[in-house]
Chain A
């Protein structure tokens, strides 16, 4: 943190981030790092704001200006509370695959009536996971079956034409 904290407040922030990091372990490395980084930035910004509010402990020294005390648990606690429990953030992160499929958006110039793809979807592609390993396998298998049937039909027609 870029804001000075008392040892107890610093420990509370460390514990929060450690807990979140541990709970995010099942997420991918990139996603875990991204969410942790964002939460760290949030804390930095929120604690900077909290430090900007003069408190009773701040003292004004002649010629030095306002000397700020390190933020203590009373100041850091509400910031962590507003952020919510680490488990809640982790649950929201880990529920990602398939939880939000994103809106179906017709790409510009490819809508119905233009004789193009009937289904054009721009949205997050569900990632394969242990819970749903069929996500990628099903479309792939479908294409193999279609290609095989078409190849067999073509061969059959050629066979008839040549005989």
Chain B
């Protein structure tokens, strides 16, 4: 039986979404809601904004992300996340591998395999 779009997307997100979070944070520190809005806008990378938080916890425990509390101009203090040097290295490694990976998948889909 062919899995539905949601199941297929869930599989595709696995292994890539963490790096998308790192990529967002590479543009500067952000708080959770901001990251969620940027990645969840189209529903492709995240099905629900809440799934970001287990990821952020994991990234923090892995030492790729660190967080600090800041006062907010409106509302309660916010926890801001930023990349650590290990996080930058992880993102660079993923970015280096992603292009050939994507090209290989594209080639397989278009012509049945790499040229």
Contacts and interface: CB of A to CB of B under 8 A. Distances in A.
Interface of A: 2-3, 31, 34-35, 38-39, 41-42, 44-46, 48-49, 52, 82-86, 88-89, 92-93, 96, 99-100, 102-103, 105, 122-124
Contact of B51 (A31, A49, A89): A89
A38 B58 CA distance: 13
B50 interface: yes
A95 B62 CA distance: 16
Contact of B93 (A41, A49, A105): A105
Interface string B82-100: 0000100110011000000
A89 B78 contact: no
A83 B32 contact: no
Contact of B48 (A44, A84, A102, A122): A84
B76 A2 contact: yes
Contacts, number: 98
B48 A42 contact: no
Given A82-B48, A83-B50, A89-B54, A122 B74 contact: no
B29 interface: no
B98 to A, nearest CB: 11
B104 to A, nearest CB: 18
A45 B37 CA distance: 12
Interface string B54-67: 11111001111000
A89 B18 contact: no
